[in-house]
Chain A
Amino acid sequence: MDVLKIVNLHVNVEDKEILKGVSLTASSGETIALLGPNGHGKSTLLQAIMGNPRYKITSGQVFLNDQDLLAMSVDERSKAGLFLGMQYPSEVAGVVNADFLRASINSRRQKPLSLFQFYRLLDSTYKKMGIPFEMANRSLNVGFSGGEKKRNEILQMILLEPRFALLDEIDSGLDIDAMTIVANAIKEEQEKGRGFLVVSHYARLYNMINLTRTIVMVNGRIVVEGGPEVIQKIDKHGYEWIKTELSIDIEKEDPTMSSVSIGVCATKEAIRDGK
């Protein structure tokens, strides 16, 4: 069994402390739903675990089994079995999907896949994800719709066979058919015993996959742990009840931050649009 262990993690983004001591242990076979208002640290947690250099870890530890993830480079973390399905996957002009996927798969293999094996694997995975195979020869995510990018993320997850997959709003931009495809793909991977940490704002995706736990992050800390009932409650009532029931003041997003802050889902969109 694999264990992902996060111990008292503090993370800064551009000198602002976003995560203020997050501890969480996840085991293989578990699927944890991670909810919380925008700007309260969900993406930051995922990005920091994966090793995005924009997210500065000021204290705390992250282990995958007995490996110290924070001492490892991003590619080493990937090879150790971590996967991050990104909220805004990069568009990389000129880098052909198929070349990129082949390099990614071979990066974790002793003996590289033969071209024949690779294309057979690619073909079946593209079919599973309902993506036209021609996309394999296009530039990575360039000109893809939001939904196509998200499907391409799940496609990569399937190909890379991680121990733990961190999925950041993988359901945004998906129509209901695409959502079903993504949910089915996740369920299939769940059956293989992988662990999942899934960020979403919507009950819809959560209802389609098998959850073991639900956690809620507010003000850079985990404040609620529970079962699926927490999701239904948030879906119906939002986050205001946390304020009254737990007497936690929910910090509003700092408007002066919104044009520069990274790691806040709503503001990242603004940055992207500005590029």
Chain B
Amino acid sequence: MENNIRQINLKECQNQEHVVDFNEDFSGLEINVGKRANLALNIINLGIAKNMKIVAKIEENGEISAVMADFSSGKGSLDVDINLVGINAKGTWRLSALSSNRDDKKYDVHFNHHAQNTYGLMDNYGVARDSSRLVFSGANEIFRGAKQSKTKQNAKIIVFDEGAIAKANPRLNIDENEVEASHAAVVGKLSDDHLFYLMSRGLNLNEAKRLITYGYLLPIANYFHDDSLKEKIAKIIEEHV
């Protein structure tokens, strides 16, 4: 069902862990993290890709740490808006995404720093294979008044096959002084030096590629809290690579 919005509301000082499975029937997620509240958000998308929107508001001293494993297939897009509205609000976003076959996947992640001493970290990691398309857009905005804020954005995509298309569009908009902001974006193919090194120890090309990709995608599993979910993600990565 379209326009089915799911809500997560954390009241003052609440600590919660939530597992969100994109396979379930909803198309948007609205999150409110109250003062001094802490939300650990574990997102999985392991089925069919779809369009999804996540909007989060983090109040004073609140924190969200979101981690997402996306090994879905098909065409889909994800928009994420993390609004750091209270002083000392903190947000981290970590994504590990794989696109294969003719998948077409887009991610647009925004961190909006509205208050003083807020912190935002975005890490988007991806592997694009076959004839798929994978696009990471990221925007970190520090608005007037958000002094002493720190924001950081990393995007890295390995392009596995000739036919795959990968793009990383990082953006920083800074409208205040006394802030720290940085971004890094790397899109490239598997390193020939790495492949040579592994092959010189007897691994054939496919084994070498497999080991490197596995090692690149797997660390996301460590950020998931639930052990059975960890195992499930590790298993899916193993099946895919």
Contact = CB atoms under 8 A, between A and B. Distances in A.
Interface of A: 50-54, 73-75, 77-79, 83-84, 86, 89-90, 92-96, 99-100, 103-104, 107-108, 139, 156, 160
Given A93-B215, A94-B216, A94-B218, A78 B196 contact: no
B4 interface: no
B200 A92 contact: no
A75 B211 contact: no
Contacts of A54: 192
21 contacts: A53-B192, A74-B196, A75-B200, A75-B202, A75-B203, A75-B204, A75-B205, A78-B200, A90-B191, A90-B196, A90-B197, A92-B198, A94-B218, A99-B215, A100-B201, A103-B202, A103-B207, A104-B201, A107-B203, A107-B207, A160-B201
Given A73-B204, A96-B215, 14 more contacts: A50-B200, A75-B205, A77-B200, A83-B200, A86-B200, A90-B193, A90-B197, A92-B194, A93-B215, A95-B198, A99-B215, A103-B201, A103-B211, A107-B207
B125 to A, nearest CB: 10
A108 to B, nearest CB: 5
B145 interface: no
A93 B216 contact: yes
B55 interface: no
Contacts of A94: 212, 214-219
Contacts of B201: 78, 100, 103-104, 107, 156, 160
B200 A74 contact: yes
Interface string B213-235: 01111110000000000000000
Contacts of A78: 199-202
A206 B200 CA distance: 25
Interface residues of B, number: 24
B192 A79 contact: no
Contacts of A75: 199-200, 202-205, 208
B211 A95 contact: yes
Nearest to B207: A103
A54 B217 CA distance: 28
A40 B28 CA distance: 63
Contact of A139 (B200, B205, B215): B215
A156 B202 CA distance: 11
A150 B200 CA distance: 16
Contacts of A52: 196
Given A53-B196, A75-B199, A90-B193, A100 B211 contact: yes
Contacts of A89: 197
A50 B217 CA distance: 29
Contact of B198 (A96, A100, A139): A100
Contacts of B200: 50-51, 74-75, 77-78, 83-84, 86
B202 A108 contact: yes
Contacts of B218: 94
Given A54-B192, A104-B202, A107-B202, A86 B197 contact: yes
B119 to A, nearest CB: 24
A73 B212 contact: no
B115 to A, nearest CB: 35
A104 B211 contact: no
B205 A92 contact: no
Contacts of A99: 211, 215
A95 B207 CA distance: 12
B212 to A, nearest CB: 6
A86 B215 CA distance: 22
Nearest to A54: B192
List the 4 closest A-B pairs by CB distance, nearest first: A94-B215, A107-B202, A104-B201, A74-B199
Interface string B122-154: 000000000000000000000000000000000
Nearest to B219: A94
Nearest to A139: B215
Which residue among B192, B196, B207 has the maximum number of chain A CB atoms within 10 Å of its CB? B196
Contacts of B203: 75, 103-104, 107
Tell me which of B191, B196, B201, B203 has the highest count of chain A C-beta atoms within 10 A of its own C-beta.
B201
Contacts of B219: 94
Contacts of A53: 192, 196
Most chain A C-beta atoms within 10 Å of own C-beta, residue among B202, B205, B215: B202
A53 B191 CA distance: 12
